[in-house]
Structure 1
Amino acid sequence: MNTILYIRLTIDNSNPAIYRDIQVKSQTSLEVMHEIIQATFEWSNLHSHYFKDSTGNIIKDKKGILIGSIITTSGSITYVYDYADSWGVRIEVLEARDIMDENFTPICTDGRRNSPPEESGGIVCYTDTLDMLQLHQNKEWRYPLIAEWLGEDYNPETFNMEAINSRLQNIII
């Protein structure tokens, strides 16, 4: 029997919240959890990362630590990605259930808002960028370099669960 954790991943200080609800086995290593978070937020694993436990201690050996052994339904841990931009992702268990399926793979079941692009400067710069675009949305000149960087069709409110689940299927557990 396997225990499945229903987890919410929320980008720290995002307002409105940018989050993903995922399901993973409690036996998932932090090393694989890193890959799951990268896929879930559409990041490309270009930077270093670390995990912090609920007391703020940095977890150094990710290979030997299982997500189910360091987090409970009443606590959370933090994933920090890109030391310069310092993306913080709060990982909290919403629920745990036992299942019989031995072949269970990670899945995203819900979420809100588009992922901030890689290299977008952390939550403060990303939010400032969106504010600038919103402020000038009705003007002919809309910060063309920012629009080019985000992509002409980038919508911060879009959430594509199908694309996320497609990426999650490619993770080797």
Structure 2
Amino acid sequence: MRSDVAEVLERLRDVRDLDLLRVLDQALSSGEAGSSDPDVVEPYRWFVARLGAGVTLTAAGYLPPALVSETMQRFGWDADWIGAGNREDLTGPVRDLRSSARQLGLVRVYRGRLLPTAAGRRLTENSAGLLEHITRRLPLGTSEAEQQAGVLWLLAVAAGRSDALQVVGRGLAALGWVDRVTRRSVDSTDVTLLVHPTRMVFERLGLTRRRRSESSERASALARAALFGDEPADSPAPPVQTSARELTVTLIDVDPPVWRRIVVPESLTLRALHGVLQTAMGWRDAHLHLFRVGQVVYGDVEDFPGELGDEEVTTLGDLAARTGEFTYEYDFGDGWEHRVQVGGRTSASGTPHCLDGARACPPEDCGGAPGYERLLAALADPADPEHAELTEWIGGGFDPEAFDVGAVNEVLATLHRRPRQRRRR
């Protein structure tokens, strides 16, 4: 797996957005990667072979009109194309074929001629090799935004989602991309432009079309090959029972209380427990944290005057052997403190899970317990002078009583499912 792809996947896991985690999980489990039909690459193979020793471009730098027409007719693209179909700048399918062939490293321009690259010449007689070459180059794009949008689009297609563009928009927002002028999440037009370099490869291969669903099995197989390589995933290991502890986590200074009851393996490090608590409570892991056990502190702290423990190696079992209660602090600005009460030892699967809980997690950056109290009062009173502003800030309705244990467990299961081993690329 390419390092840039792996980075996006890990960042998506950290976001803990349930829909995005479902997409990731579906992409990983939708079937074996790879395409069973190397002839799917015929448009690229034929185009590179057709160039021969090179084709002289027009004075404006475009393909000769005769070659544009020939390409359109060769693949039947002229059947539903409005226009003469002989000018590259006005003929999208050929323009995209040439542009993507260049980005795939199959052709290049030299002294006014379009030439096959060494790789392009070598692969014109090897369709299987050409298919592997293309999957290794995806996603396409010259900017980081295009690359990340391409990864998200490939994930959506690999997962069999028909709303791939909507998934990309949600994913880009989760990854922090915003419009430079408005500072709002990228809109549908931006998303379409950003995914175009990657999407046009699938369109030229006949796997997707702009006005049709992007969830065909052939498209999904190629997307999985581009993301994960061409080896099948390992079979998931059967669940193993392990020693675990029941934890009751309560947010301090919030009334009525926000609490969760979870079961966590004793072998989990405090760093991993931090992720479980973030998911169970509903936080977004956007701030620093620490665990406080007596006079010892573990976590994201610097220049701490007291004893500092290592959360990367200290386990829940280590803490449970020393104390029946400790504190978990999150967001040192808002100062959210959680009382964590350690229950008895039990036997459970290696995946943390939530048993019960009550009420929604406060929104991030609302000002701690006093700010949350003020927020709820303003939201409940349309006459409050801050009602409209805070309603817009929170993005619409907010139900402080809402809690879905099933949704929490779905996220926990996805986050802690052992990643499938793929061939490194």
Equivalent residue of 1:95, what SS? strand
- Decide whether aligned partners of structure 1 residues 141 and 120 sit closer, same or farther in structure 2, where only a CA change above 3 A counts: closer
| Structure 2: runs of 5+ lacking an equivalent | 1-240, 299-308, 419-425
Partners of 1:73 and 1:94 within 8 A in 2: no
1:167 paired residue number: 411
Q: Is the 8 A contact 2:280 2:408 kept in 1?
A: yes
Aligned residues: 167
Q: Where do 5+ consecutive residues of structure 1 fail to align?
A: none
Residue 71 and residue 147 in structure 1: after superposition, are their counterparts in 2 closer, same or farther (change >3 A)? same
- TM-score, length-scaled by structure 1: 0.86
Task: Check the 8 A contact 1:5/1:96 in 2, yes or no.
Answer: yes
Name the SS for the 1:170 alignment partner. Answer: helix
Q: Distance in 1 between matches of 2:405 and 2:328?
A: 21
1:36 maps to 2:276: yes
1:119 aligns with 2:359: no
Q: Which has the higher contact order (CA 8 A, sep 6+)?
A: 1
Asked if 1:61 is matched to 2:61, the reply is no
Matches within 5 A, 1:80-95: 80-95=329-344
Contact 2:325 2:342 in 1 (8 A): yes
Larger Rg: 2
Greater helix percent: which structure?
2
TM-fit CA distance, 1:38: 1.1
String of CA shifts for 1:22-48, please: whole Å, max 9, x gaps: 111111110100101111122221111
Q: Does 1:45 align with 2:269?
A: no
SS of the residue 2:415 aligns to: coil
* Residue 145 (structure 1) aligned with residue 384 (structure 2): no
Deviations 1:83-123 (A, max 9, x none): 111111111113321x3x6x431111100101111112211
1:9–1:91 contact (8 Å) kept in structure 2: yes
Q: Aligned partners of 1:61 and 1:49: how far apart in 2?
A: 13
TM-aligned CA distance change 1:46 to 1:74, over 3 Å: closer
Q: Which residue of 2 aligns with 1:128?
A: 374
One-letter code aligned to 1:105: T
1:140 deviation in Å? 8.9
Cα separation, partners in 2 of 1:71 and 1:124, compared to 1, 3 Å? farther
2:328 equivalent in structure 1: 79
2:378/2:384 contact within 8 Å kept: no
How far apart in 2 are the matches of 1:40 and 1:82? 16
Flag the 1:82–1:142 CA change in 2: closer, same or farther, 3 A.
Answer: closer
Distance 1:158 1:87, change over 3 A: same
Shift of 1:56: 4.0
> Runs of at least 4 residues of structure 1 off by over 3 A?
139-142
* Percentage identity across paired residues of the two chains: 28
Name the one with the larger strand percent.
1
Q: CA deviation at 1:147?
A: 1.2
- What does residue 2 of structure 1 align with? 242
- Contact kept, 8 Å, 2:288 with 2:332, in 1: the verdict is yes
Quickly say closer, same or farther: Cα 1:75–1:155, change in 2 above 3 A. same
8 Å CA contact 1:22–1:107 kept in 2: the answer is yes
What is the Cα-based RMSD across aligned positions, in Å? 2.2
CA distance in 1, matches of 2:356, 2:328: 19
The answer to whether the aligner puts 1:25 opposite 2:25 as a matched pair is: no
Q: 1:65: Cα distance to partner?
A: 0.4
